[in-house]
Structure 1
């Protein structure tokens, strides 16, 4: 455990060294919230509610979903693994006295911890700047459940990106897989628009897949909606984490023998 804590500390320090990346992440979050304010401000100009949302609950949803979306920094995991495998330096992870997947999860935790405080500050600034009457759940049980769901969602996304990175052991270029994943996740997690605005049949199908529970459901829970879906959300997402972990294990054992890179 101490080894992974050291990895977390190293990556927190790494983010401090690359402060320009932090500025870009903040500006990206601000831009997304600004766009949401302008768009929904126009839509709500002539109406009080849209799909059960008021202007304040809709903007609260966007602030929370943007915050959760920015917390997921695992995309760089797949890029890092792919690059290392292709240039033959993935061996450095194979000789470390830690589990490879554990290393990358610790890396993700270190990066998330660093950006967490920045994202909180950014969200608070926009709440006051746009005078949003922030809507937030008051039930402690729901808040705890939402936090657990968020953590499971971050773990699942780290698993997914780790798995996609490992595919480089089989395929020369995983760019297509990453492009499909990025566009699919942006839509089906509800980070672009709340899924409640989509056809009910589509939403029902999405409930069988993990992405529904990564950003959308936690955001809805934190604004006091969909409380009845918390238990099912925890169960479904936990099952998907177990399934994906089994797939990762099988993929690694099958493909690692194909790796012939040298050097560290």
Structure 2
């Protein structure tokens, strides 16, 4: 366990070199909040409530979901694995004394911990600038499950991107898989809009996928809504995370024999 903590610490410190990335992530968080501020300001107009949301609740949802979605640094996992398999440098992950998936989980956790500080600062600054009255629950019985759900969701996303990355052992280009995953994640995680605005039938269908519980449900819980889904969210994400452990292990062990890269 200690070696993975050290990997996370190294990646955390290494982020200081990439100052432009820091500015880009903060700008992206700000842009999403600004877009929500303008869009929902126009939609609400003189209305006090839309689909059960007040204006402050809607903006609070967007601020929280933007912050949580920016914590997911796992998209780079599939890209890096794919690039290293294709250029032959993936060999180094096969010989160092750590599990390949564990290594990438630790690396992603280190990067996420670093950017969490700046994304939180960006969200708070713009909350003050726009004078948004944040609607947040103060109930520990809701906050704790939401945080656990967030951690499980991030872990699932790392596992998913790892699986997509190692498909490069078999496929020359995994761009199609990444595009499909990106579209699903952008919509089902609720970062584009609250899923409660959709018809009930579509919402029920989305609950079958783990993405529903990655960003959307934790965000809704933190603004004081959807308490009745806590148990379902925790169980569903736990099952998906546990399910992907043998899937990734089996896929990696079967696909890596195709790898003939050289160099460390």
2:7 is the alignment partner of 1:16: no
Matched, 1:59 2:62: no
Equivalenced residues, count: 264
Shift of 1:189: 0.5
* Residue 46 (structure 1) shift: 2.5
Query: What stretches of structure 1 move > 4 A for 4+ residues in a row?
Result: none
Distance 2:138 2:68 in 1: 19
The root-mean-square deviation of aligned C-alpha atoms, in Å, is 0.7
Cα distance between partner residues in 1 of 2:22 and 2:261: 33
Map residues 1-264 of structure 1 onto 2, 5 A cutoff.
1-264=1-264
**Take 1:249 and 1:120, find their aligned partners in 2: how far apart are those partners?**
35
Give the gaps of 5 or more residues in structure 1.
Answer: none
The superposition leaves residues 171-203 of structure 1 with CA deviations (integer Å, 9 ceiling, x where unpaired) of 011011111111110001000000001111010
1:86 deviates by: 0.4
3-state SS of paired residue (2:52): coil
**Equivalents in 2 of 1:70, 1:134: separation in Å?**
19
CA distance in 1, matches of 2:51, 2:247: 38
Please give the alpha-carbon distance, in whole angstroms, between the structure 2 residues aligned to 1:212 and 1:137: 20
Instruction: Report the 3-state secondary structure (helix = DSSP H, G, I; strand = E; otherwise coil) of the residue aligned with 2:45.
Output: helix
Deviations 1:141-173 (A, max 9, x none): 100010000000000001111110010011011
2 CA distance for matches of 1:155 and 1:57? 28
Q: 1:114-159 CA deviation, whole Å, 9 max, x = no partner? A: 0011111111111111111100011111000100000000000011
Task: Give ranges in structure 2 of 5+ residues lacking alignment.
Answer: none
Distance 1:150 1:174 in 2: 27
For the residues of structure 1 that align with 2:244 and 2:206, how far apart are their CA atoms? Answer: 17
TM-score between both structures, scaled by the size of structure 1: 0.99
Q: TM-score, normalised by structure 2?
A: 0.99
